[in-house]
Structure formats: C-alpha cells, structure tokens
Amino acid sequence: MSYTNVCAESDIAVGELAKYKVDGESIVVYHLADGFYATQKSCPHTFGPLDRGKIIDGNKIQCPLHRAEFDIKSGEAVKWANFPPGIQLLNALRKQKCLKTFPVKVENGQVTVDISDVRLANAS
C-alpha cells in the first residue's frame, strides 16, 4: 500500500470532482458529502471522460457520452449505456463493466490515493 498526494482537501468543494494523473493512471477524485473517493477517469463503455460527467443523487457519476451511471464509492455500474438504433450491435460488444475504484485517505489537509490497490465491484 502506498498512498500518493493528489491534491489539497480544499482544492475540491463538496459536490465537485477533479481529474488527476497518478503514476500514469488517470483518475477522478470526488468530494462527496461524507468524504473523498477516487475512480478511473475513462468510462468502461467507450472511454467517455468521467471528469466531464455529472454527479447525481450525491453518490453516482453519469458519463457525459451515453449516460451510463456508476456508484462512485463501489464502482458498480448502476445503469448501463445503450447505443441508439442503427448501431445496437455494439451493445453486445461493449458489455457492462464496473469502474475501478481506489482507496483514498485524507491526512493533514492532503488527499492521498493508493493507485496500486485497485478495487472492482462487479468485475465480469
């Protein structure tokens, strides 16, 4: 376990998120009402930028491309994306996947993430 400093606690307001690169891994850090969380930055559907997504219901991230929704804390896909008619064959190819999540600790006002400790909620 090795935690890396990512940002100051005050850098991300409650209800906001920010992207960072840690040891080559692009991540999103979220400041929710009960603390900080981190997930991979790319949506596992077709790589949408989750840092440009929307936090909904205080605990889910909605991808800006096809609106898949993921539980920020567990990474679980709570709503998967559907391609529109005409390219629906792609749905069979892009099967539901969860987000990688990473443990976060806040110490002395610093947000730290352990990028080596990948967690997968519902790996397939």
> Applying CB under 6 A, which residues contact ligand FES?
43, 45-48, 63, 65-66, 68, 81
Taking the least distance from each CB to ligand FES, the nearer of 80 and 114 is 80
Closest CB 67 distance from ligand FES, rounded Å: 6
Please measure the distance between the N-terminal and C-terminal CA atoms of the chain and give it in whole angstroms: 25
Beta-bridged to residue 104, according to DSSP, are 113
Helix (H) or strand (E) holding 8: strand 4-8
Closest CB 2 distance from ligand FES, rounded Å: 30
Pairing of strands 104-107, 110-113: antiparallel
Cα distances from 87 to residues 46, 95, 112, in angstroms, run 13, 14, 41
One-letter amino acid of 83: F
Taking the least distance from each CB to ligand FES, the nearer of 10 and 124 is 124
Closest CB 68 distance from ligand FES, rounded Å: 4
Look up residue 117 and give its two tokens: 């400790």
Taking the least distance from each CB to ligand FES, the nearer of 20 and 44 is 44
Taking the least distance from each CB to ligand FES, the nearer of 43 and 115 is 43
Closest CB 73 distance from ligand FES, rounded Å: 19
